[in-house]
Chain A
Amino acid sequence: MITLLKKDILIQKRILLFCLVYVLIIPLFFRNFENKNLIFSASIMIVTYMLLTNACALEEKNKTEVLYNSLPISRVKIVAARYLSLFLYSAVASVYYLIISNLVTLLHLPLKIYPATFEGFLGGLITVIILNSIYLPVFFKIGFVKSRYVNLFLFFGVFFGITLVSQFAKGITNPFFIKLISLFKLPQGNLLITAGIAALILVTSFFISCRIYKKKEF
């Protein structure tokens, strides 16, 4: 399993550097956002999306599924490694964000970047989990080339969805709508419940993917 995760890092040495640059420029796009956690969450989402997409693309390009399914390794472990890679990529994004945010503060750079928070991390991770719990079974079923638009749609759907809702929320003065929006603002307790639900979704998705992948032919 560790070797499979090591593979995901080794094959993406170059793009890992690119991701560092992305984390640096993401705050520029979200500078008008009032939610301080959102930039950190967005960084996790974007870096994970990029690394997962690239790993799947490289796998399809080099047809390495044939290689790995010929080695003495179970298909369940191959699936599990793909799911675990989401946490690995989220960790990479978090480390990058910590480095960048600390550097910006230390060097007094003219960049509006908020410090990393637990809420921001959890928010990002939950989004990554929910998105990919929908995407990965589709990926295991039809492969990267056919499924990439599903991933793109999910990613941008969530991304622009959040942006639009935030913009929309800013202009609202009607007390009924303000009350309605406040229901969706998650205090820390609710965030942990959401994390629990996300974990349940992730486990369900993992078992569906295992079932699909065990039957897959190469």
Chain B
Amino acid sequence: MAPVLEIKDLEKRYTGFALDKISFTLEAGYIMGLIGPNGAGKTTTIKLIMNLLKRDGGEILLFGQDYGNTIEERRIKDRIGFIYEDNFYYEDLTLREMKSLIAPFYSSWDEKTYKSFLSDFGLPENKKIKELSKGMKVKFSLVIALSHNADLLILDEPTSGLDPLIRREVLDLLSALIQDENKAVLFSTQITSDLEKSADFITLLKDGKVVFTTAKDSLLDTYGIVKGPRELLAGERSGLFLGTKENQFGFEGLVKDRIKARDLLGGKVVIEKPSLEDLIYYILRN
């Protein structure tokens, strides 16, 4: 079976910014987190995947197909659920009215699932979009995205600005969704703890380039945070670190291979499993 999403050497050029030949693959049954600082290219990547922007080079394959013509584009988008950071609904319409303007476009719209999610999230159908809180708007977007049996969910910073309780609810729902092994989620965020809870794969973008795209567990199992005296940073050993931070008591740094680091540095240092936030902090700092 073809991957749900395959991006090869994708390019998009603007004045002052370019998405530079990025590549990654997302298989069915997994959640991939797309992470990076502001301006790294996360939203541009998502807009290119959704065909909202035209690419300057490379390839985007969704379910093994490219957006070739109108019919293929419609078939592909029929299988995608999306949530963007901003709300793109008519603010003066009620949830019922807004749904009635979206549902007819999907071939597999499931009214029963829609009603069930609305009730689970406590969303009143007669309320106007503008009367919803930010969290409720995200929940409504999620309900729409989940009510047409989408095989791929694309979420652009859906949890930014949400309180921890709603963020947790959204993440739990994504994890539950992925129990169906035919579905996949691409999830862009700046909140590393969200990815730590839910993502299987992490793709880190910086300045329009992919820094790494790999399984989260393999990252956390191989990288290490080393703490020790500053004199250890002198000479050849400094090359061992991807990034370091020094203070008056010593240093803290990230190594790519913590077993190798233990062999080289021995008992002079403390080596810990990094958090995703540590890892990204040191890599981006470097």
Which residues of B are in contact with A by a Cβ distance under 8 Å? Answer: 47, 50-54, 70, 73-78, 80, 82, 84, 86, 88-93, 97, 100-102, 104-107
Contact = CB atoms under 8 A, between A and B. Distances in A.
A190 to B, nearest CB: 39
Interface in A117-153: none
A6 B91 CA distance: 16
Contacts of B100: 3, 6, 10
Given A3-B104, A7-B101, A72-B78, A62 B73 contact: no
Nearest to B154: A70
Given A3-B104, A218-B47, A70 B52 contact: yes
A10 B82 contact: no
Nearest to A61: B91
A217 B89 CA distance: 19
Interface in A34-64: 58, 61-64
B89 A72 contact: no
Contact size range, A = 20 to 34
Nearest first, the 4 A-B pairs at minimum CB distance are: A67-B88, A72-B77, A72-B78, A74-B70
A104 interface: no
A62 B89 contact: yes
Interface string A56-94: 001001111011011111111000000000000000000
A73 B102 CA distance: 10
B78 A10 contact: no
Contacts of A67: 88-89, 102
A66 B88 contact: yes
Contacts of B93: 10-11
A70 B50 contact: yes
A6 B101 contact: yes
27 contacts: A3-B101, A7-B90, A7-B101, A10-B93, A10-B97, A10-B100, A62-B89, A62-B90, A62-B91, A63-B86, A63-B88, A64-B89, A64-B90, A66-B52, A66-B84, A67-B89, A69-B52, A71-B77, A72-B74, A72-B76, A72-B77, A72-B106, A74-B73, A75-B70, A76-B70, A215-B54, A218-B47
A63 B100 CA distance: 18
Nearest to A10: B97
Given A63-B88, A64-B88, A217 B54 contact: yes
B53 A218 contact: yes
Nearest to A6: B101
B77 A11 contact: no
A62 B93 CA distance: 11
A38 B93 CA distance: 36
A10 B98 CA distance: 9
Max chain B Cβ within 10 angstroms of own Cβ: one of A6, A7, A67, A69: A67
Contacts of A64: 88-90
A64 B92 CA distance: 13
B86 A218 contact: no
Contacts of A11: 90, 92-93
Contacts of A66: 52, 84, 86, 88
Nearest to A59: B90
